[in-house]
Structure 1
């Protein structure tokens, strides 16, 4: 745990034991850890050099020890003081590195603005490396469209996704329905939903892609080769904005998946689906029947037909029955 602050594994072990004691010396720690006393003494001296420990003044010995060399006694410096400064310096260094990275990204963007906005990658290992880098670069959101039979980076091998979710990156994924039939895919979808990711399903994903924020995207190099390694890395620009817009359009037309804890499966939430009676009312009215004629056909009152048409207009955001007919056709209601 303290490796992030520059401590090696052996140093951390000795430091933790030292913190748990008021005072101790190398022989006591050597007996407890099984390390050689000289090795423990070297580690203690390294902690002293780091400011994490101090050499204590040895207590006076009794008469039996007169003339015998006294072992060096060590005690831990207060951790909040000793490690707090190191932690603050690491934070400052990371912040400075982040600012420098942003400056370098701006320089790179400016340098490539008049040049190529895409990078062709054909080697499978290079594609995997770039695929990971793309996700590691995301600070806010990763959008992706997934097709069946992925082989270069199978879904279960995408460790960068888990890392991104842990640091707060939102993942939105559109999955082609057939992909959910592959072994283990439902379990992966459940895990993704449980971790806070958003997953939607659609009948066909024309082209796989992954987009990190509005900075980078990766798409297949060749048409119809969604599972091939050859890819194109797209940098910020008009082409990337078009990919973002395409994803958002596809997202609105796909069906969100939700956790179904009863059957341990995923179910589609279709907010635009209407019940069978609404569908019958809508079809009859759009076919030209009057409200009364539609009511007679369905065995309901004219008021029921009018009420359901009114509710459908609200659901669709339509201001007229003509507009309702257009929206109904687009949503597949009629």
Structure 2
């Protein structure tokens, strides 16, 4: 790292210009007395003492004897500076948010036009990433194809789940039927803690973040504008979208196995029941699991016999009622 780069980084952590000059000089020459520092950097005694004090408080230098200053191992000091900047950033964020709220209350009263923002195609993915990264409590989602971007592993969701953000997703059956999407996106998210359910269709492509705003993809039927999205802020419209999600969630079938499944249930049987509850065809199940129709039929026969039922519908009902899914 060059001296210029170090200067930039240390200044970002809150050190002053003279503090950084002194620290870099000490790194290049070694321990020095106050008078040697003042002479080499053309500083007054007062400025030298102030810079030494600042670096000492930051945990970057220490006095080794009566008047000699030397750099010390910086990890602890740098962590302290970083935490201080994080605290200042949070305070600044809170102050800016409160100031903006006061502005909207007293200067610029919200109009209906402010409740809805159109996000055009080039910026949709960026805005989704921004809003989802900022979620702290819960993300609600309707998921269905077609997808306007290449869909692979959803690393952001897995990361959010790891830091305590809950996810409830209702998938359209068509999403589950896509082998790559199911294997690369849906299954890893469920394994990471996503609560997933499935419906034959979902009413709209939708994501709701912490109950404070929603992103809605425009109708797939309007193909010329389907790649744009609407951002809905807190309003009765957002309340209606949350209500729509909750009613759909109650009507949807769970996609993941619960904690009560019989210990004798083999991994392939667990996956079959999971997909069976989603309502997709036997052909699609076999394709998703990479097995033959004959192998699927043999496993279904074993499961129906164990459950004491005669068809796949009754098996799905049995699995739901008995905590298999």
TM-score by length of 1: 0.54
- Is residue 141 from structure 1 mapped to residue 146 from structure 2 by the alignment? no
| Distance across 2 between alignment mates of 1:108 and 1:213 | 23
> Which residue does 2:24 correspond to in 1?
none
- Structural RMSD (CA): 4.2
| Distance across 2 between alignment mates of 1:198 and 1:241 | 21
Compute the displacement of 1:196 (Å). 1.5
Q: 1:93 aligns with which of 46, 65, 88?
A: 88
Q: Is the 8 A contact 2:153 2:188 kept in 1?
A: no
| Distance across 2 between alignment mates of 1:135 and 1:108 | 26
| Distance across 2 between alignment mates of 1:218 and 1:151 | 15
Compute the displacement of 1:224 (Å). 2.5
Q: Is the 8 A contact 1:211 1:217 kept in 2?
A: yes
Q: How many residues align structurally?
A: 227
Ranges in structure 2 where 5+ consecutive residues have no aligned partner: 1-5, 12-26, 31-51, 258-264, 278-306, 312-320
> What per-residue deviation string (whole Å, max 9, x for no partner) do you get for residues 60-116 of structure 1?
xxxxxxxxxxxx995525855x34642442342133034225425634764463331
Larger radius of gyration: 1
Q: Is the 8 A contact 1:127 1:230 kept in 2?
A: yes
> What per-residue deviation string (whole Å, max 9, x for no partner) do you get for residues 29-68 of structure 1?
xxxxxxxxxxxxxxxx9x88954134646xxxxxxxxxxx
| Distance across 2 between alignment mates of 1:210 and 1:75 | 51
> Which residue does 1:121 correspond to in 2?
119
TM-score by length of 2: 0.56
Q: 1:76 aligns with which of 72, 75, 89?
A: 72
Q: Is the 8 A contact 1:215 1:235 kept in 2?
A: yes
SS in 2 for 1:184: helix
SS in 2 for 1:248: helix
Matches within 5 A, 1:178-257: 178-187=174-183, 188-222=185-219, 224-225=221-222, 228-257=226-255
| Distance across 2 between alignment mates of 1:79 and 1:254 | 51
| Distance across 1 between alignment mates of 2:136 and 2:93 | 11
Q: Is the 8 A contact 1:256 1:268 kept in 2?
A: no
Ranges in structure 1 where 5+ consecutive residues have no aligned partner: 9-24, 29-44, 58-71, 280-314, 316-334
Judged with a 3 Å threshold, the aligned counterparts in structure 2 of structure 1 residues 120 and 107 are, in CA distance, closer, same or farther, namely farther
Judged with a 3 Å threshold, the aligned counterparts in structure 2 of structure 1 residues 245 and 93 are, in CA distance, closer, same or farther, namely same
SS in 2 for 1:120: strand
Q: 1:167 aligns with which of 157, 163, 166?
A: 163
Judged with a 3 Å threshold, the aligned counterparts in structure 2 of structure 1 residues 182 and 269 are, in CA distance, closer, same or farther, namely closer
Q: Is the 8 A contact 2:232 2:238 kept in 1?
A: yes
